[in-house]
Structures are given as structure tokens and as C-alpha cells.
Structure 1
Amino acid sequence: MTSSRTSFEYYDLQEGEARLVDIAPGKYSDQIQCTLSHTTFLPDVQYECLSYVWGPLGQGSAQHSIICDGFSFPVSLNLFSALFCLRYEDRPRVMWIDQICINQRNLAERTSQVLQMGNIYRSAQQVLLFAGSPGPQMIAAALFINLFGGTYGAAFFSDRENFKNVWKKSTVSQLKEHLDVPLPEEETWKCVRHLLNQPCFRRTWIVQEVALAQKIRILFSPGIEIDWDEDKASSFTTFFITVSARNHNSGTDHGHYIGREMIYSRALILARSQTRTFPESPSLRLLALLVITRRFEVTDPRDKIYGILSLATDSAYLDITPDYIKSIRDVYMNVARRLIQCMKSLDVLKHVETLKYDDSLPSWVPDWRSIRMELFGDDVITGTHFYNATRGMAPQLVEPTEPSKLGLRGVMLDVITTITSGPVEDGGQRSDGAVAAGHELWWIRAKTAIGPTYKPTGEDLSMALGRTRIADRRDDVQKFGGKKNDPIEVEEDEVRYYYFRSLGVIIQNQILYRNLITTENGFMGLVPLTAQEGDIIYLVPGCDTPLTLRRLNNNEFHFVGQCYVHGIMYGEAFPDDVSLEDIVLV
């Protein structure tokens, strides 16, 4: 094809087409050269995909540029490094790389290509996940993972000589002495933690890229790669599962090799496992994926949605399509409304954060950029709901007068009269001392307001408080060595202390971002930190937990968040003949 171009230009794609980049062979020090071609991804098209972190684009300088179709083409420094690592010396390599294969300045093309992302990654021979610019720590981590998997991974999964129990229960000192496993503070594990903290594991886009790939390998440097899947003893998944198995033991002398660095890798492994073995899993629906990936990062906030859309099993039913012309506000509002309308559920309201990243969003719309959540009683992995305050009644939607409003029907339960208090630190957290002081003052008021017996259930007040503090999640007590039906009482002097016996972790999980309240009619419960005295608790069909609302005028409300109210979480206060009123959330 002849051309009068003097600089690089994209040729327009036809409907259903995408581009592939053919990377010319060369030695490591040679300049990267490539050519673009169009394809419709027929079954016989052979190519690989690159998964990586973009990073900032270069300004046309030589070190940030490659030659594409004979012209200088700017790329990010991270992609520049990746290309040197994956290029062959003796033969070309055909890849799909979004930064090169999509005209990023053409919003219409960008939208159409995002729609094809699922097919692009499914059809590739393999996906290469670039870990980041090679360095001594990264390479050391890769070599150790290979060695570790080969030495301990096979034994862990085959449980040879009861290895699994030994591995889980031994202290780090015992494993060092008997199996020569490095101690957590040794350099080897520091390198692994450095690897797991790399941005490549925290990208929203990586979730579907990993989950949908036929085969995936982690690329560290030329010639150093690791298989992702656990069908090989030295794979990343085998390593991760083996190491994380120890984290379920909370003994003080037990020791963990990896801590919070595991959050992202665990989500990636779960998504891939569910996609391959249980494609109808509730965890692959859009709302569940939004929750699972909430901590993951994006450059464009709209990609919190679009970056997982190809993986979501209900995306076609929800009829949500990428549109980069829409504002972030409109994208988030549309997703929330579609989830409510199509799923016939108000579950999305339970994922509205207390402290919004963007106040321009309506109060009932989750801001998926914020990682703060106060979720009660749901397990998005299994789709389990632990409460049923409205007895399974479907939502009754009312046509709103404006697109930014949500019209519902519900019934008022009560008004908040007392609430725990304490200074809130940056990020919405409070010190243990502030929590304890606030609880002590509230406890004095609660005893006066309610009396010795909690009338909704007939329990002793201290028992009701104990159950409220863990949101009545007595099933969780068993995980910490207790029994589900053990008494959960609070002694008189214990109200001064934040962590209560073996229930401490459960209590912390429930009240870290919540306040204790009492109501006009003597109920006790947990509400978001932003709740205030005078806020109203409503039971709204379609949501299995009560909702805390703040009246703005006659029937318009600001949505504060979901709450727990002891004694009514299983429909006790929601009779069949209940009379509902119109509610408008703004």
C-alpha cells in the first residue's frame, strides 16, 4: 500500500476488525521496529496479548519511541521496557498491545475495541503479563517462586507425608530449621513482597486479561517467565496458594510470609479460577466484580466499569456498553440504575460508600473509585445474603422526576435518638481510644433509654448489645474457635474496651466504620459513621437490610447507608400487609 504520509497515522478499522502488531526480530540493543495489520480474529489467526501497566507516555524522545510502519511512534516507558523483554532475536512476534493497536485518540474506535476485548484475550494463544522494568529484586523473586514451587508446591498439593498440615501449623522458625524456608524478614521474601506490590497486579484491566486468557505467563526479563496456572508445581498460582494457606493461622508465633500484598493476587486467582471452572458463579456478575475489584486502579475512572465488562456474565442482560463520550457521573448513574432495574434488587445501594470521592454523584450511586465500604452480611463470592429484613419482597420503583433521582417505596421503622461519637481521623478511621470513649458514653445513655431488657427480643440488654456489636454474625464466631450458640454478652466493665475476648476480630470488622445507635422506640443497631441523630431508618423492599435516610423535604431523602437493627433483620418488623410510602433518593 502506497502512502504520502510524513508521520505515523492509523488506517481506519472496518466493522469487526482489530489490529495486530508484528514485532520485528532484533538483538536487545537494537531499536524496536514493528508493523501493523488488520484482522478479524478468525480461528487460525495466531497471536499473543501483552498485559502491562501503561505508565506516563513519552514526549517523542528516542528512549520512549519505537518505529511503527516506518515512522516514530511514542510509547510509555513501561511498554518500551516490555517490548525489549518479549522481542525474539531470530523471528518476528505477533502481538495485540492496546497502546499500539488501538487509536487512543479516536473515542469511537476506543469504544468499539473495548467491546471486543473479551474476544481478543480469549482468542490469543497466550497472554504475557509484564511484571515491570527488570531489576535485581524482580528477578530474584521470579527465581525464588520457581524454586519454591518445585520444592514445596508439589508436596503441598499431594499432601505427601502430611506435608500440608506441617506447612500450615509449623512456626517460621521450624520451617527454617527443617525445610530451609527463608524467614519472613529475609531478603528473599522482601523481593516477593516487592513483586506483589507492583502496579501490574493492581490494574482493573488485568482482572479480565488474566481471567479470560487461554494461557498466561508472567514476564520478568528476556528468558525469565513463570506459568500462572497451578497445573505446574512451579507456577505462580501454586506458590500463592501454598503461601497464603498459612495466613489462616493467626497464632502469634506462626508468622506470615506475605501480608496485605496478597489482596490483589487473591482476587486475580479467584477470577481466573471461577471463569475456568464455574463460569456461572455469582462472583462473575457485574456487581460482584465491581466489589471484588474495588481496590484495583485505573487511569480513566470509567474503566472501573468498562475494564471488567467483558468478564461480567450479565453484561449483555444489563445492556451496558462502553461509551467514553459519557461523563463519569453519567456512567456511574447508569450502571447503578441498570443494576436496580434489571436485577430487580437494591443490592447496589449496599455498596454506597460513606465518604464519597465525588460529591457531585447522587447519594444513592456508588462511587467505585472509593474503596471505603460498610457492607453488611453479603458474600459476593457465593451470592449469599445473610439477612432478610424485608422478607424477600421485590423493589417497588417509582418513576423519578429527574434522571439523578431514584424513586422507591418503603416503610419507616424508627428515628435515631442516640449515637456513639468520637473524633474521626483522616480517611474516616478513629483511634481505639476514641471508639471506646464514644461507646462508654453511648452505653450510659442506652441503658437509661432502653432499660435492663431489650424489648424487641426480650433479651437482657447486655446480650442484645453483644449480638449487635457483631451484627449477630454468630456463624463467624465459629471461625475463631467459639460456638455459634455461645452467649455473647458484654460485662459492665467491658464497655470501656474495644476488643472483646475472642470476638475481637468480628467486632472490629463490624464497628470499625460504624456507630452504635438507639431509636425512639427502643431499637439498637449499627449505622454508618456519617449518620446523625434524627436520621430515619426505613425498610425498603428489594434491600434485605434496613436503610438510613436523611429527610431533605416532604418525600426526598439523602441516602446515608445501610444499617443493622437488632431484632428485625429477618422480617420481624415487616408484615405482609405493610403500607408503603413513596421515597425519592437524591
Structure 2
Amino acid sequence: MSLPSWVPDWRSGLSKSFAENNHNQKIDGLAIAMCRKMEQDGTLPSWVPDWRLVLRRSFAWLTHQNLDPLFQASNNQPPTIHDEDDNRKLALDGYIVDEIEDLGAPWTGGSRVVDGSSSRHPHEEYLSLLAQIRQMCLVSKGKGTPIYLTSARADEAYWRVPCGGLDQDESFQPKPAGPACKLKYEHCIAELTLLIEAYAMTMAEYEIRAAELAHMGKRRTDDADTARNTGTMYRVRMQEMAGKRPFISKVGYVGMGPSYMRAGDAIAIFNGASVPFVVRPVGENTYRLMGECYCDGIMHGEFIQGGGQVHKIVLV
């Protein structure tokens, strides 16, 4: 993202200057997703990025701006920004998908834990997140809501959600997740389990399990699949979801959204945005923007294709 090119009128106040600038700029989904506020500053509207901070990149970030987005949640609908008397409000056309029903624990990204002079990866945290999402997917299926076109696609949610629906190639560039990503997920579970259980194994037992794991990592979906389908590759994508937490909505959508979201928040799609967002109701058709999310089953325009109704959504 480039630096802002406007010259602010500081006499109008910091928060007003930021808000006016963002009304005059073309705001894309990525820019909105990067909103972060200084804890001591509660004066900025929720949709205005705080340019004083280092902004977190989107989990769907691409290295080149001329590449097509990895997702198209708004189904290629053009953005519409409505005029409002108050520049601190942003009124957009969009869709309210559903209300958040329950949440899992925040995901920190699986960073190394420093213990004195040594450090280790928190294998248990990875497994805990995967287990939480697997359980939510079972609850979702039990609701019986037809949010997927097929039962087979619904069965893929448990391995798509933890990695934000993305795999990566050998050059670590993100790409849409496919069948090979499921192999990486399965290898990830086996690898993490081995790393935890290794402390109670003899060397002979460990060598047998390690050999089985190495063989498992050589599996391919087909002859054209030349990538390494290993758990390490899967965990790299899990790390991109740091700062989020798993959620399930009332009708059964499962995904990952901002760590500070809560039950009662809503999943929203704004026209022109590639990814959905989590918003918090504060009045009739009025919301505070919480941040971007991955919501399985709506990332490629499925909700809109299924007849979702467009609304004017006002962000404050």
C-alpha cells in the first residue's frame, strides 16, 4: 500500500483530517481491512485507517497489485458510496450475511515460545485451533442449513478455515486452496502429534513414526501435483491468520475474524470488496467496522449468487 498523498488540514483536528481524506480516496477492501486504532484514541471512525501506525496486511494480500484478487466475495459488484452529510460516516452498498453466534479462542499465530535460553513452537496451540474449528464445522453440519451447494463442499470447511482458504506455491505465493491443501492439513496433524508425543518415545519408536511421516509428506493429488504436501507448508498459511479467532454464525457459517469480535456481531459483504468483514450493530443499518474475515462458503460470491439482498450499510 502506498503512503497517503493528501496534505491534511491539521487545523480541523487529527481525526477529522483522517476521515475527510478517506472520503476523498478510493477505499478498497484491503485498505478497510487494515484499520487499526491507537488504544488511547477513540475519536477516529471505525472505518478510517490510523496512518500513524504500521498497518497489518490482509491474509489475502498479494505481492503485485496488478494480480487478480484471490477472492471475490462481492461477486464483482461495483462499489457504491452514498453521500452523507457527515464526513465521519461511510455509507456503502452491501449485504448482511448473518449474525455471529459463538467464538473460539484468539489465535496468536503460533509464534515461538521463549523459555529461558531456549525456545519452542507451541504445537499444542496449533492443534487446539484445528480442534476448535473441526468442532464448529460439526455443529454447522448439524444445523442442516443449506449454505453450501453440495455436502462434499461442506465437508471441506474444516481444512479450509484454519488457512483462510489459501494454499501456497513453492515460491510462497498464496493461491486458492485445492485438494493438495487437505493433504497438507492431514500431514500437519500427524506431524504436530508426533512432535508432542516424541518426549515419551524410545529412539526406535520415534524413527519408525518419523519414517511414516516422511512417506506421508510425499503423497500427491495427481501427477501434476509437484509441491511438498507437508504440515510445515500448511502452518505457514495458518500463521497468516494471526490476530483472528474462529467463529460460527447462527445459520452455520464457519470462519475466522478479528480477535476482538464478539457474539452478536455480523458478517458483511461490501460491493467492490474481495473479502467479507465483521461489523458491529450500533443502530438501524448503522455499524462499526471490526475488520476483515474469512467466512467459508461466501468467499467467491456464493451469497450474492444465492439471492442475497443488497442494503445501504452506514459505517461510523
TM (norm. structure 2) is 0.69
Q: Secondary structure at the match of 2:91?
A: strand
Q: Cα 1:460–1:530, aligned 2, differ >3 Å: closer, same or farther?
A: same
Q: Secondary structure at the match of 1:337?
A: helix
Counterpart code for 1:336: N
Q: Cα 1:352–1:497, aligned 2, differ >3 Å: closer, same or farther?
A: farther
Residue 373 of structure 1, aligned match among 56, 62, 67: 56
Residue 396 of structure 1, aligned match among 80, 93, 97: 80
Q: Cα 1:438–1:485, aligned 2, differ >3 Å: closer, same or farther?
A: closer
Q: Cα 1:517–1:354, aligned 2, differ >3 Å: closer, same or farther?
A: farther
Residue 549 of structure 1, aligned match among 267, 279, 285: 279
- 1:448 aligns with 139
Aligned-pair distance for 1:519? 1.7
Q: Secondary structure at the match of 2:181?
A: coil
Residue 359 of structure 1, aligned match among 42, 51, 54: 42
Q: Secondary structure at the match of 2:23?
A: helix
Distance 1:572 1:492 in 2: 30
Distance 2:51 2:17 in 1: 11
CA shift digits 1:123-168 (9 cap, x unpaired): xxxxxxxxxxxxxxxxxxxxxxxxxxxxxxxxxxxxxxxxxxxxxx
- 1:331 aligns with 17
Quick check: 1:488 aligned with 2:181? yes
- 2:166 aligns with 473
- 1:417 aligns with 101
CA shift digits 1:378-403 (9 cap, x unpaired): 33642432211112212222232422
Larger Rg: 1
Q: Secondary structure at the match of 2:137?
A: helix
Residue 506 of structure 1, aligned match among 229, 237, 240: 237
Q: Which has the higher helix share?
A: 1
Aligned-pair distance for 1:576? 9.0
Structure 2: runs of 5+ lacking an equivalent? 114-120, 194-229
Q: Is the Cα contact below 8 Å between 1:418 and 1:442 reproduced in 2?
A: no
- 2:309 aligns with 579
Q: Cα 1:577–1:437, aligned 2, differ >3 Å: closer, same or farther?
A: closer
Q: Is the Cα contact below 8 Å between 1:355 and 1:372 reproduced in 2?
A: no
Identity of aligned residues (%): 20
Q: Cα 1:391–1:445, aligned 2, differ >3 Å: closer, same or farther?
A: closer
- 2:292 aligns with 562
TM (norm. structure 1) is 0.40
Q: Structure 1 runs of 4+ off > 6 angstroms?
A: 481-484
Distance 2:143 2:261 in 1: 26
Distance 2:287 2:80 in 1: 17
Distance 1:323 1:362 in 2: 17
Distance 1:347 1:482 in 2: 16
Q: Is the Cα contact below 8 Å between 1:356 and 1:370 reproduced in 2?
A: no
Q: Is the Cα contact below 8 Å between 1:405 and 1:585 reproduced in 2?
A: yes
Aligned-pair distance for 1:548? 0.8
- 1:517 aligns with 247
Q: Cα 1:403–1:497, aligned 2, differ >3 Å: closer, same or farther?
A: farther
- Relative contact order, CA 8 A, sep 6+: which one is greater? 2
Equivalent pairs, count: 263
- 1:101 aligns with none
Counterpart code for 2:9: D
Structure 1: runs of 5+ lacking an equivalent? 1-287, 291-304, 310-319
Residue 152 of structure 2, aligned match among 423, 434, 459: 459
